[in-house]
Structure 1
Amino acid sequence: MKHKEITHKIIGCAMAVHSELGNGFQEVIYQRALDIEMTKQGLIFQREMSMNIYYDGHDIGTRRVDFFVEGCIMVEIKAIIQLDAVHLAQAMNYCQAYNLPIGLLINFGAKSLDFKRVYNVNHPENKKE
């Protein structure tokens, strides 16, 4: 499955969860519901996967990603009223630190589901020839 198809499917799962639950719950509730929905949709993923972060070729620690989907897409979820630039920067930094081409930042806390695709501009798949 290509990245666009996978992200589309993940966003559809998130929309189903938000449609059913609405906003106002803690992040972990949405995480559990998204786990159920993505399983129903046949997506392969790991939840709260610990991933190494590298700096200049050195392992400098770990961070748990909310979901790592189909072995190539990081999904970071929030349950806040409004996404700020810092949340977008955080998700973009995770893509770079994990050396992933694309990720999703999904916010369940707003009245309407809010999501952003984030790209690692340094990843070979995203470099223009």
Structure 2
Amino acid sequence: MSDFDLTQQIIGEAIYVHKSLGPGLLESTYKNCLYYRLKTKGLKVEKEKSLPVVFDGQFLECGYRLDLVVEDQVIIELKSVKKLRDIHKAQMITYLKLSGYRIGLLLNFNVLKLVDGLIRLKY
């Protein structure tokens, strides 16, 4: 499956979750529901994947966790905030850099239409 097709499928499932639940819930609720939906579609999904920091050639466990990783290709970072900020994008770019993954989806579920809370990033 191409990167584009995979991200389109993920976005479609995220929209389904958002339409079903609506805005205003906890981030963890959306994460668990999206995880469930992606798994039921037969996708490989990892939840709360550890992300060590490599510093001075050493792998250091610093407590970072990737919300979801799909098919060893796409990082999904979920938010439930008033507005996505530049710091959220910077965080995703850093996650991409540290992890070696190339594509990230930043999804803010605290919006009326999920498309207004969606950012696709490549590194």
**TM-score exceeds 0.5:** yes
> Structure 1 length normalisation: TM-score?
0.86
Q: Give, in whole Å, the separation in 1 of the partners of 2:70 and 2:45.
A: 4
TM value normalised by structure 2: 0.90
Query: Which ranges of structure 2 fall in alignment gaps of 5 or more residues?
Result: none
TM-fit CA distance, 1:56 = 5.4
1:118: how far off? 1.2
RMSD of equivalent CA atoms: 1.3
Q: CA deviation at 1:58?
A: 3.0
Share of identical aligned residues, percent?
32
Match of 1:125 in 2: none
| 1:14 and 2:17 matched | no
Partner Cα distance (1:83, 1:105) in 2: 9
Output the amino acid matched with 1:41: K
Q: Across the two proteins, how many residue pairs are aligned to each other?
A: 120
Q: How does 1:86-125 map to 2 (within 5 A)?
A: 86-113=87-114, 114-120=117-123
**Following TM superposition, by how much is the alpha carbon of 1:22 offset from its aligned partner in structure 2, in angstroms?**
0.7
Tell me how far apart the structure 1 counterparts of residues 90 and 7 of structure 2 sit (CA, whole Å). 19
Counterpart Cα distance in 2 of 1:111 and 1:75: 20
Amino acid at match of 1:117: R
Structure 1 residue ranges without an equivalent (≥5): 121-129
Residues 1-80 of structure 1 correspond to what in structure 2 (within 5 A)? 1-55=1-55, 57-62=57-62, 63-80=64-81
Q: Is the 8 A contact 2:51 2:98 kept in 1?
A: no
More displaced 10-residue stretch of structure 1: 25-34 or 40-49: 40-49
Amino acid at match of 1:24: G
Q: Deviations over 1:36-94 (max 9, x none)?
A: 21122221111111122224543233411000110121111001111011101111110
